[in-house]
Structure 1
Amino acid sequence: MGCGRVGSTLAVSLEKRGHSVAIIDANSDSFRRLPSDFDGQQVTGLGFDRDALRQAGIEDAHGFAAVSSGDNSNIIAARVVRDTFGVKNVVARIYDSERAGIFNRLGIDTVTPVTWSADQMLRELIAHGPHVEHTDSRYGVTLVWVDIDESWYGMDVANIQRITDSRVAYIGRNNEALFPQPDTILQDGDDLWLLVSQQRTHAVQRIMNHEVQEEHR
C-alpha cells in the first residue's frame, strides 16, 4: 500500500526478484512513479478497504507492506490485512517511534524511518559506535558491532559476556563468521557483534572501547 518513493521502489525491487506484486494507492497519478515495464497490478483505492485489498489479491498474498505517508492509514491497513485476511507477514512504516513500539508488541512489524535514519547518520558521524546493525523493538534487543580496546584481546567469550551483560552473537575472523563457545578467545583483529538490551547499547560500547578494568582481568 502506497506508491510513493518507497512503495514504488519496493514494488520494483520485489518484481525484479521474481515476485508477483500488486500495489494500491488512493491517487492513480502515483503509479507514474512505476517504470513502463512494471508488470504488477495497480489498484486505485484505499489500502485498508477490503474490496481494494481483494482486487489486489490479498487472499493469496504472502506479505503486505504498508508504506503510505500516514501512520494511521498504515496501522489500520496492517491490522485489517492481518486480522481479517490472516496474512502473517505484515510490515508497516510508522514515523512515530513510540507508536511503532506498541504495534510491534501487537505482532505487527514496523519500520521507523526517523530512528533508522538517525542511527545511520550517527554511524557515519561517529567513528566509535555503537554501530547498530539491527534492532528488534518488540523485544528491546539490539545487534551491535562494537569497537574494541586492545586490552580485551586474549579474553574469553564467557568473561566478555559477564562483564558487558550481553551475548556474543558472532566474531568476524579472517573474513569468516565464527560462532563462538564460552571458552573462545578474542584475538587481535577480530570484529565483535553483541546482542544487548536496547537501552544498554551505549553503555556496552563505552565498556568495550576502554581498557579492561583491573578487577575484571
Structure 2
Amino acid sequence: MQIIIVGCGKVGRTLAEQLQEEDSDITLIDVSANVINSLQDDIDAMGIVGNGASINTLMEAGVDKADILIAVTGSDEMNLLCCLIAQKTGHCQTIARVRNPIYGNEIGFIKKRLGVNMIINPELAAAQEISRLLRFPSAIKIDTFSRGRVELLKFKVLPEFGLDGMTISHITETLKCDVLFCAVESRDQVSIPGGNHMIHNGDNISILASPVNAATFFKKIGLKTHQVKNAIIVGGGTISYYLTKALLDMNISVKIIEQNTARCETLSDLLPNATIINGDGTNRNLLMEEGLPQTEAFVSLTNLDEENVFLALFAKTISNAKLVAKVNRLAFDDVIDNLDIGSVIYPKYITSDTILQYVRAMQNSIGSNVETLYHILDNKAEALEFAIRDNSPVVGIPLSELNLRQNLLVGYLNHNGVVKIPRGHDTIQVGDTVIIVTTHKGLRDITDILEK
C-alpha cells in the first residue's frame, strides 16, 4: 500500500513508525529538512522537503498512484487543503487532522463536499477517553468496542482485593463474574494469560466485559464503580474545553484553572456552567484553596509534560482523587508508566490507532473489516474488532476446532447486538463482530487469526 504522510511532527512520526510495520511504502513530506533527515535515520521511507499543499510536491511524492494521503500538520486548514488537492490530483483516500472546535459542527460538510474520507480530532478523542475514566474511576485505561457494548478495562491489583496468588480460573469461579482476563502486565513479563496464570499484587490486569459485568466484578473485589462528582482541571486548552463539555453533560461539576486571562474569558463564555479560575495551576496554595484535597478527580492538561506529571504526583500525596495526566512526548512513556500516577493520556497514540484501523480496513482481503483497533500492553499487543462481512474459513466452525495462532485470544462475540464471551462450541457467523486480543501485529483480516 502506498501511503503519503504530510507533516512529520509527533503524530506523523508515530504514524510512520507504526505503518512501517504494516508493509506499506511510505512517503514523508515536511517543510523542515532536519525533520525529514531525522525520520529517515529511523524509518525506511522516502522523504520530500516541501509544502504538502503544493501540486508539484504531491506529484513528486506520487499522489497519482497513492492509496492514502494522511495530513497531520499543525494547521487544520493546511491539512484540509492537502486533502482537497490530493483528491483533485489523484484517486487516493484522504485523512485530515482537524482540531479547531469551530469545525466540529461542520465535519459532515467537510467530508461530503471536500471529499475528505476521515477527520480525526486528537483533542476530542483524548477528552472522550478521559471522560470514560471519570465515569469509571477504578480503571487506569478504558477502550470501547461494539459501540460501547464491550469495554477493555485496565486496573492495578492491590493487596486489599485479596487476589494475590490466585489463578485466573479460580478468580472467575469464585467471583462468578462474566469477565475475560485478556492481558497481564507484571514486573518481568507481559502476557496474554491462560486459566492457570497466577495473579500477584502490583500486576496490571486488562479485562474484557460489558459495562454492567465490569461494574459487578469491580464491586466484588472492592473497587469504586461510581463516576466522580467533581473535577479540577489544570490548563484551559482545547482538550479541557471538550472534556468540560462532556463532564457537565454527565452532571459532574468542573473547575478549570488557567493562567491566561483572555483564555479564561473565552472559556467563561463557552462554558457558563463551569467555574473558571484565572491563576497558576502549579501554585500549591491556589490548588489547596480550590479544594484539591477534597476533589474526586484531578486532571492536568497543561502544555508541559513535566508540569502534568509533577502535578499528578503532588495531587497523589494530598488527595484520593482519580488522577489523569496528559503526556505528548512519547520517548519516556515507559518511565512515566512506572511512576504510578493514575491514568496517562497520550493523544498521539489515540490519533495513530484511529488512523491505523482505517488503513487496516482498507487492506482487508476476504470480507472482514477492522472496525476498532487499540495498541495495548505498552504497544506490545493489539486488541482488534473485526466485522464479518462475507463467508470465510472461520465462519460456522466451533472455536475449539479452529487452528488458532498462539498468543491469541478470541475475546467477545457480538451477534445481532447480543455480546458474550465465546466458549469452545460457539461459532463466528456472517454479520457478527468479533474482538481479538493478540501479540501478533498487523492482523488485517479475520482469517489472520488462523495458524498458517
**TM-score of the superposed pair, with normalisation by structure 1:** 0.80
For 2:384, the equivalent position in structure 1 comes to 144
Q: How many residues align?
A: 209
SS in 2 for 1:172: strand
State the Cα deviation string for residues 3-56 of structure 1 (Å, max 9, x = none). Answer: 011112212321222111111122222213325352332223333332121222
The yes-or-no answer on 1:77 pairing with 2:306 is no
Confirm or deny: 8 A CA contact 1:130 1:201 kept in the other structure: no
Segment drifting more, 14-23 vs 148-157: 148-157
For 1:188, the equivalent position in structure 2 comes to 430
* Alignment-mate amino acid for residue 332 of structure 2: R
The yes-or-no answer on 1:208 pairing with 2:451 is no
Confirm or deny: 8 A CA contact 1:23 1:56 kept in the other structure: no
* Alignment-mate amino acid for residue 304 of structure 2: G
- 1-structure distance, mates of 2:272, 2:401: 54
For 2:358, the equivalent position in structure 1 comes to 124
- 2-structure distance, mates of 1:161, 1:79: 47
For 1:179, the equivalent position in structure 2 comes to 421
State the Cα deviation string for residues 49-90 of structure 1 (Å, max 9, x = none). Answer: 3212122221121111111111111111111111x2233511
* Alignment-mate amino acid for residue 195 of structure 1: V
The yes-or-no answer on 1:8 pairing with 2:250 is no
State the Cα deviation string for residues 104-163 of structure 1 (Å, max 9, x = none). Answer: 333231111112112212223442465544444559554211366711113333455842
Distance 1:86 1:136, change over 3 A: farther
* Alignment-mate amino acid for residue 124 of structure 1: Y
For 1:64, the equivalent position in structure 2 comes to 298
Distance 1:135 1:119, change over 3 A: closer
* Alignment-mate amino acid for residue 178 of structure 1: K
Distance 1:134 1:87, change over 3 A: farther
SS in 2 for 1:189: coil
Larger C-alpha radius of gyration, 1 or 2? 2
Query: Which structure 2 segments of 5+ residues have no match?
Result: 1-233
Query: What's the RMSD between the two structures over aligned residues?
Result: 2.9
* Alignment-mate amino acid for residue 353 of structure 2: D
Following TM superposition, by how much is the alpha carbon of 1:96 offset from its aligned partner in structure 2, in angstroms? 1.6
- 1-structure distance, mates of 2:413, 2:446: 14
Confirm or deny: 8 A CA contact 2:381 2:441 kept in the other structure: no
- 2-structure distance, mates of 1:161, 1:55: 61
* Alignment-mate amino acid for residue 208 of structure 1: I
- 2-structure distance, mates of 1:161, 1:44: 61
SS in 2 for 1:152: coil
* Alignment-mate amino acid for residue 201 of structure 1: K
Q: Which has the higher contact order (CA 8 A, sep 6+)?
A: 1
SS in 1 for 2:411: strand
Distance 1:192 1:90, change over 3 A: same
For 2:395, the equivalent position in structure 1 comes to 153
Distance 1:12 1:139, change over 3 A: same
- 1-structure distance, mates of 2:285, 2:357: 43
Following TM superposition, by how much is the alpha carbon of 1:94 offset from its aligned partner in structure 2, in angstroms? 0.7
Query: Which structure 1 segments of 5+ residues have no match?
Result: none
**TM-score of the superposed pair, with normalisation by structure 2:** 0.41
Distance 1:102 1:147, change over 3 A: farther
Confirm or deny: 8 A CA contact 1:48 1:80 kept in the other structure: no
For 2:199, the equivalent position in structure 1 comes to none
Confirm or deny: 8 A CA contact 2:370 2:386 kept in the other structure: yes
State the Cα deviation string for residues 144-201 of structure 1 (Å, max 9, x = none). Answer: 113667111133334558425222221111122122113322223321101224xx33
